[in-house]
């Protein structure tokens, strides 16, 4: 993998795109606590208008559960992949979930609650089918948190570790953002379009790989090496890019309509 410069491949006129966005660190600035995160109203409006131009082919792809994503995106109701794709809502509203057995979920919750309580400042986030071990407020416990996650992944072969920014998650095997994007791309309104995916974290690399394989556009937000083709420096840069992209698509539609109008007039003459 190589370090990317500040560059985003340009969108081509008349190309039908499908847009996928990570949330924390991409559409929303990262905060000390997950419940402090928000998406600004003008950004939600740009997403709404982008979805309108793309016939609904705009989705959120996040480690957060769908219910949290709905709160952040309100009043928008978008297709979503939550918990890295362990749960997914299609454009028609149908929701599918990959769940752990009740015995596994209960055992994990019990052990993690006890172990994390011994690491002051860390936070356990239970997502039902996955668990996030946060240490943003206690970076001195990073090694202990990583060792805890590794030991449980060894004991529960149906789980895999997913490192992120100041967090390690335990999630079901085979669940990742790339798989979620591939599933979306097989269904309307995403099918037949060119995928565009923006993300900022290690959890987004599987999404970048999937989009690259589909000859789409992958965009890394922030610092670090990545498989993404393009790069935006921070969340503010994402907001500028989103607004410019929405304006460009509006202009492309207007130009197309005017061109068709001229052609129709020419035929009548």
| Residues 151-201: tens digit of each pLDDT | 999 999 889 998 988 999 999 988 999 999 999 999 999 999 999 999 999
CATH 3.30.70.1020 placement within the chain? 102-172
Please tell me the pTM assigned to this model: 0.85
Instruction: Tell me the per-residue pLDDT of 51-74, one tens digit each, with 9 for 90 and over.
Output: 999 999 999 999 999 999 999 999
pLDDT of residue 255: 57
CATH 3.40.50.1000 placement within the chain? 15-98+175-258
CA triple 50-81-98, angle to 5 deg: 165
3-state helix, strand, coil in the chain (%, to 5): 40, 20, 35
Q: Which of 22, 24, 46, 204 is catalytic?
A: 22
The CATH fold assigned to 102-172 is Alpha-Beta Plaits (3.30.70)
Whether 204 is catalytic: no
Any residues with CB less than 8 A from the CB of 258 and at least 6 apart, and which? Answer: none
Residues 162, 171: contact at Cβ < 8 Å? yes
Q: Which CATH superfamily is domain 15-98+175-258 in?
A: HAD superfamily/HAD-like (3.40.50.1000)
Tell me the pLDDT band of 5, cut-offs 50, 70 and 90: low
């Amino acid at each position: 993998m190589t370090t990317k410069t500040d560059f985003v491949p340009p969108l081509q006129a008349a190309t039908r795109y499908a847009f996928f966005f990570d949330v924390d660190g991409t559409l929303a600035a990262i905060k000390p606590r997950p419940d402090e995160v928000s998406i600004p109203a003008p950004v939600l409006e740009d997403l709404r208008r982008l979805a309108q131009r793309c016939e609904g082919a705009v989705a959120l792809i996040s480690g957060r559960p769908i219910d949290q994503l709905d709160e952040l995106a309100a009043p928008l109701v978008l297709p979503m992949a939550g918990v890295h794709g362990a749960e997914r809502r299609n454009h028609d509203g149908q929701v599918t979930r990959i769940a752990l057995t009740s015995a596994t979920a209960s055992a994990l919750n019990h052990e993690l609650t006890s172990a994390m309580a011994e690491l002051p400042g860390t936070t356990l986030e239970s997502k039902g089918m996955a668990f996030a071990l946060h240490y943003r407020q206690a970076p001195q416990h990073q090694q202990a948190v990583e060792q805890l996650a590794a030991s449980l992944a060894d004991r529960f072969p149906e789980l895999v570790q997913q490192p992120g920014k100041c967090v390690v998650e335990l999630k079901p095997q085979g669940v990742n953002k790339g798989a979620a994007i591939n599933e979306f791309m097989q269904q309307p309104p995403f099918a037949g379009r060119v995928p565009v995916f923006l993300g900022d974290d290690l959890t987004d690399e599987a999404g970048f790989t999937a989009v690259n394989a589909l000859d789409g556009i992958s965009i890394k937000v922030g610092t670090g090496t990545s498989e993404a083709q393009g790069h935006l420096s921070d969340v503010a840069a994402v907001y500028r890019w989103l607004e410019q992209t929405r304006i460009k698509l509006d202009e492309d539609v207007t130009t197309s309509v005017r061109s068709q109008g001229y052609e129709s007039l020419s035929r009548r003459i």
